[in-house]
Amino acid sequence: MTTALYRRYRPDTFADLVGQEHVTVPLMQALKSDRVAHAYLFSGPRGCGKTTSARILARCLNCAEGPTDTPCGKCDSCIELARGGSGSVDVVEIDAASHNGVDDARELRERAAFAPARDRYKIFILDEAHMVTTQGFNALLKLVEEPPPHVRFVFATTEPDKVIGTIRSRTHHYPFRLVPPGILTDYMAKLADAEGATIASGVLPLVVRAGGGSVRDSLSVLDQLIAGSGEGGVTYERAISLLGFTDATLLDDAVDAIAAADGASLFGVVSRVIETGHEPRRFVEDLLERLRDLIVLAASGQAGVQALAVDAEDARERLIDQSRRLGLVRASRAGDLVNDALTAMIGATSPRLHLELLCARLIAADAQQGAAVAVTAVAPAAAAAPVAKSAPAQPATATPVPAQPVPAQPAPAQRAAPAPASHRSPPPWEVPDEPVASAMTPPAIAQVASPPAPSAPPTSAPAGGGLAAARAAVAAAREETARDESATSTVPVVKPAAASAPSATRPAATSTPSAAAESDTVRAPTGDVASGPEDAALVRRRWDEVLGTLERRRVTWTMVKQSGQVASVEGGVLKLAFDNPALAARFSAGAHAENVALAVRETLGLHVRVEGVVGPAGGAGVPVTSSAPHGASQRASGASSEPPMPDEPPSDDEDMSADDAQAPSAHLTGADVIASMLGGTIIND
The pLDDT tens digits of the residues spanning 545-556 come to 888 888 888 888
Taking alpha carbons only, the member of 11, 6, 46 closest to residue 195 is: 6
Per-residue pLDDT tens digits for 196-251: 889 998 899 889 989 989 999 999 999 999 998 888 889 988 898 888 888 888 99
- Whether 455 is in a domain gets the answer no
- Whether 653 is in a domain gets the answer no
Separation of CA 610 from chain center: 24
Q: What would the mean pLDDT of 259-274 be, rounded to a whole number?
A: 90
Q: Is the pLDDT of residue 20 over 80?
A: yes
* pLDDT tier for residue 295 given thresholds of 50, 70 and 90: very high
How many alpha carbons lie under 13 Å from residue 216 in its C-beta half-sphere?
11
The H or E element containing residue 639 is: helix 630-639
Residue 94: which residues within 8 A CB-CB, separation 6 or more? 104, 108, 124, 125, 126, 127
Residue 23 has what pLDDT?
A: 94
Residue 676 has what pLDDT?
A: 60
How far is Cα 336 from Cα 332, in angstroms, rounded to an integer? 6
Looking at the fold, whether 86 and 143 belong to one and the same domain comes out as yes
Looking at the fold, whether 239 and 365 belong to one and the same domain comes out as no
How far is Cα 542 from Cα 550, in angstroms, rounded to an integer? 13
Could you write out the three-class secondary structure of 200-250?
CCCHHHHHHHHHCCCHHHHHHHHHHHHHCCECCEECHHHHHHHHCCCCHHH
Q: Of 243, 265, 289, which marks where a domain is finished?
A: 243
Helix, strand, coil percentages for the chain (3-state, nearest 5): 50, 10, 40
Looking at the fold, whether 267 and 165 belong to one and the same domain comes out as no
Structural domains counted in the chain: 4
- Whether 207 is in a domain gets the answer yes
Per-residue pLDDT tens digits for 434-444: 444 444 444 44
Q: Is the pLDDT of residue 575 over 60?
A: yes
Looking at the fold, whether 166 and 29 belong to one and the same domain comes out as yes
The neighbouring-strand residues paired with 174 are 42
Per-residue pLDDT tens digits for 31-63: 999 899 999 999 999 999 999 999 999 999 999
**More confident position, 483 or 360:** 360
Looking at the fold, whether 152 and 260 belong to one and the same domain comes out as no
SS3 at position 263: helix
How far is Cα 399 from Cα 462, in angstroms, rounded to an integer? 7
- Whether 526 is in a domain gets the answer no
The pLDDT mean for the chain works out to 74
- Whether 197 is in a domain gets the answer yes
Looking at the fold, whether 256 and 200 belong to one and the same domain comes out as no
Residue 665 has what pLDDT?
A: 44
Does the global pTM surpass 0.75? no
Residue 416 has what pLDDT?
A: 41
Q: Is the pLDDT of residue 561 over 50?
A: yes
What does the DSSP 8-state code read for residue 461? S
Residue 360 has what pLDDT?
A: 94
Sheet (strand 609-614) strand order: 564-570, 573-578, 609-614, 622-623
**Which of 158-162, 436-440, 557-561 is predicted with the least confidence, judged by mean pLDDT?**
436-440
Looking at the fold, whether 217 and 310 belong to one and the same domain comes out as no
Range list of H helices, 509-563: 512-523, 533-541, 543-550, 554-563
- Residue 443's CB is within 10 A of a number of other CB atoms, namely 8
Cis peptide before 67 (omega within 30 of 0): yes
How far is Cα 27 from Cα 34, in angstroms, rounded to an integer? 10
CATH of the domain at 226: 1.10.8.60
Question: Domain of 544?
Answer: 533-614
- Whether 648 is in a domain gets the answer no
Looking at the fold, whether 157 and 199 belong to one and the same domain comes out as no
Q: Of 151, 175, 199, which marks where a domain is finished?
A: 175
Looking at the fold, whether 23 and 94 belong to one and the same domain comes out as yes
- Whether 631 is in a domain gets the answer no
**More confident position, 121 or 428:** 121
φ and ψ at residue 135, rounded to 5 degrees: -65, -35
Looking at the fold, whether 157 and 186 belong to one and the same domain comes out as no
